[in-house]
Amino acid sequence: MGNEEDDRVKRGSTAGVELKEEDIMAAMQEIHGYLDITPGDFKQIYILAYQHALERLSRELTAAEIMTRKVISVTADTPLAEVAEAMGKRGVSGVPVVDDQGRVVGVISEKDFLRSMGVKDSQNFMTLVASCLRSKGCVALPIKKQAAGDLMSTPAVTVTPEARMRDMAELFTQRRINRAPVTDKEGRLVGIVTRGDLIRATLQGARP
Amino acid sequence: MIGKFFRKMTGATQSPPRVSGMEVFWSWLGSFLGIAAVAYLNDGFLEKTDLVLIIGSFGASAVLIYGAIKSPLAQPRNLLGGHILSACIGVSAWKLLFVHPWLAAALAVSVSIAAMHLTKTLHPPGGATALIAVIGGPKIHQLGYLYIVMPVAAGALIMLAVALVVNNLAPTRRYPEYWY
């Protein structure tokens, strides 16, 4: 056993789960037949294998590998009608808002529309339908004259091209977002990662 | 430095658990039948000939293929490969170096271990098979390279056949783990 290996085993970093020899003895007794291995050897194999698994998992795909590159974007002064049209045509529920140099300044999504249309509680389509049916006229009227810049969520939650899948999943959950623009060092838009991209990439990663 | 050297002699872990009574029974049954098969054939048919079918190293093989059947050392590849390869090396060592029996013995065993390592056929009784080719006396020496086929390969095959039957009859056992 090399010194480096020795140290790794001594540290026994198995993400907070310390495997005791008595656990190994108990497990060995559950397996029928004579196992030609000592509990010490098993523990060593377990710890090293666990670290290999961690390394494999941490070498996950990055935002750059899973993002959608052809992403439509709008500018802050794009009229909302155009924004809605573009989103409808492309079948997306959110688009990044960029300035004239392509830097991401915000994101505008269905939720932003719903919020500004007076849907207070849960921002989904059915809440909108309900409030529409209760009021006279279209609930979109109050925002007719507005532009993307008025509604967008800003600053945008963006990720770098190197962002790892696990971190992005955590970010999406914590911030309750469904997409994050991918930006380069200058903050310019290079792509977008959606929940769909994450799910697709998870399936690909699961295949051997 | 010296402290570490001696600390290494104190051991680092505990002995593995004892197996169940059923496991002991199947180990006993398998080894009884396996050794009985080669010994019975040896005594019944080869007593009055120059041939033999049983050698001491089969007792060691029995420990593995009936008593520690999950071990890589006990798999068919190791059993057959280890015995046959070591027999070749043992006989050659005797033929080349019979004037220095001690050297023939040492080389037979050490070269066999190296060869078994390199071919992934490590089977501890193979070392005994190689040694027997050197120290087994006139009857073994007379066999020459026939020693490889009989007793070594033939005996190992019979013991393997018994292992395949007995170990797979046992509800909690499965044999082999792999063939190649």
**Partner-chain residue, chosen from B14, B15, B173, that has the shortest CB–CB distance to A33:** B173
Count the domains in chain A.
2
Both tokens of B46, joined, read 């080869």
pLDDT in tens, B101-120: 999 999 999 999 999 999 99
Which of A193, A162, A155 lies closest to A76, judged by CA? A155
Whether residue A32 and residue B13 make contact (CB cut-off 8 A), yes or no, is: no
Instruction: Give the list of residues 6+ apart from residue A102 with CB closer than 8 angstroms, or none.
Output: A188, A189
Clarify whether residues A72 and A54 are in a common domain: no
**Residue type at position A49:** A
Clarify whether residues A147 and A78 are in a common domain: yes
Choice among A116-120, A180-184, A195-199, B79-83 with the minimum mean pLDDT: A116-120
User: DSSP code of A12?
Assistant: T
Collect all residues of chain A within an 8 Å Cβ-Cβ radius of residue B68: 34, 36
Residue A25, pLDDT > 90, answer no
List the CATH number of the domain containing A76.
3.10.580.10
A-B C-beta contacts closer than 8 Å: 48
pLDDT classification of A141: cutoffs 50, 70, 90: low
Is residue B80 within 8 A of residue A43, CB to CB? The reply is no
Q: Give the residue-averaged pLDDT of A8-27.
A: 69
Q: Which domain holds residue A9?
A: 3-58
HEC-encoded secondary structure of A92-131: CCEEEEECCCCEEEEEEEHHHHHHHCCCCCCCCHHHHHHH
Residue B166, pLDDT > 90, answer yes
Taking the Cβ of residue A162 and every Cβ of chain B, the question of whether any pair is shorter than 8 Å is answered with: no
- Please tell me the total number of residues recorded for chain A in this structure: 208
Clarify whether residues A122 and A195 are in a common domain: yes
d(CA B105, CA B132): 9
- Angstroms from A43 CA to nearest CA on chain B: 10
pLDDT classification of A2: cutoffs 50, 70, 90: very low
Clarify whether residues A44 and A137 are in a common domain: no
Most confident of A8-12, A120-124, A128-132, B67-71: B67-71
Average pLDDT, chain A: 81
To test the contact with chain B by mutation, choose from A19, A32, A41, A45 the residue with the greatest count of B C-beta atoms within 10 A, namely: A32
Taking the Cβ of residue A5 and every Cβ of chain B, the question of whether any pair is shorter than 8 Å is answered with: no
Both tokens of B53, joined, read 């079918």
Q: Examine residue B178 and state whether it is found in any structural domain, yes or no.
A: no
pLDDT in tens, A91-107: 888 999 999 888 999 99
Is this complex scored with an ipTM above 0.85?
no
**Does A2 or B29 have the greater pLDDT score?**
B29
Q: Examine residue B5 and state whether it is found in any structural domain, yes or no.
A: no
Residue A4, pLDDT > 90, answer no
Taking the Cβ of residue A34 and every Cβ of chain B, the question of whether any pair is shorter than 8 Å is answered with: yes
Both tokens of A110, joined, read 């269905």
To test the contact with chain A by mutation, choose from B13, B23, B31 the residue with the greatest count of A C-beta atoms within 10 A, namely: B13
- From the CB of residue B177, how many other CB atoms can be counted at a distance below 10 Å? 13
Q: Which domain holds residue B79?
A: 21-169
% of chain A residues with pLDDT over 90: 17
Residue A10, pLDDT > 90, answer no
Clarify whether residues A154 and A83 are in a common domain: yes
Clarify whether residues A10 and A112 are in a common domain: no
**Residue type at position B7:** R
Whether residue B16 and residue A21 make contact (CB cut-off 8 A), yes or no, is: no
Q: How far apart are the first and last CA of chain B?
A: 43
**Partner-chain residue, chosen from B12, B23, B72, that has the shortest CB–CB distance to A34:** B23
φ, ψ at A128 (rounded to 5°): -65, -45
d(CA A33, CA A75): 70
**Closest chain B residue by Cα to residue A20:** B13
Pairing state of beta strands A94-98 and A104-109?
A: antiparallel
pLDDT at B25: 96
User: DSSP code of A206?
Assistant: H
Q: Which residues of B35-50 are buried (b: 16+ CB within 10 A; e: fewer)?
A: bebbeebbeeeeeeee
pLDDT at B14: 84
Clarify whether residues A74 and A136 are in a common domain: yes
pLDDT at A114: 80
HEC-encoded secondary structure of B140-160: HHHHCCHHHHHHHHHHHHHHH
Residue A5, pLDDT > 70, answer no
d(CA B178, CA B163): 14
pLDDT at A34: 85
Whether residue B15 and residue A38 make contact (CB cut-off 8 A), yes or no, is: yes
Backbone conformation region of residue A28, classed left if phi is above 0, alpha if psi is from -120 to 50, else beta = alpha
Count the domains in chain B.
1
pLDDT in tens, B22-45: 999 999 999 999 999 999 999 988
Clarify whether residues A93 and A190 are in a common domain: yes
pLDDT at A206: 47
Residue A1, pLDDT > 50, answer no
pLDDT at A35: 86
Clarify whether residues A36 and A88 are in a common domain: no
Clarify whether residues A127 and A88 are in a common domain: yes
Clarify whether residues A76 and A133 are in a common domain: yes
Query: What part of B 26-85 touches A (C-beta under 8 Å)?
Result: 27, 67-74
Collect all residues of chain A within an 8 Å Cβ-Cβ radius of residue B71: 34, 36
Taking the Cβ of residue B7 and every Cβ of chain A, the question of whether any pair is shorter than 8 Å is answered with: no
d(CA A90, CA A80): 15
pLDDT in tens, A161-188: 999 888 899 999 998 888 999 999 988 9
pLDDT at B34: 97
Collect all residues of chain A within an 8 Å Cβ-Cβ radius of residue B72: 36
Whether residue A21 and residue B23 make contact (CB cut-off 8 A), yes or no, is: no
Q: Examine residue B140 and state whether it is found in any structural domain, yes or no.
A: yes
Give Dmax (Cα) for chain A.
80
% of chain A residues with pLDDT over 70: 82
Q: Examine residue B75 and state whether it is found in any structural domain, yes or no.
A: yes
pLDDT at A120: 66
pLDDT at A137: 63
Residue A50, pLDDT > 90, answer no
**Closest chain A residue by Cα to residue B15:** A38
pLDDT at A130: 76
Residue B145, pLDDT > 90, answer yes
pLDDT in tens, A66-88: 898 888 889 988 888 888 888 88
Instruction: Give the list of residues 6+ apart from residue B75 with CB closer than 8 angstroms, or none.
Output: B176, B177, B178, B179
- The alpha-carbon radius of gyration of chain A (Å, integer) is 25
**Residue type at position A77:** D
pLDDT at B40: 95
Clarify whether residues A34 and A50 are in a common domain: yes
**Partner-chain residue, chosen from B27, B70, B173, that has the shortest CB–CB distance to A36:** B70
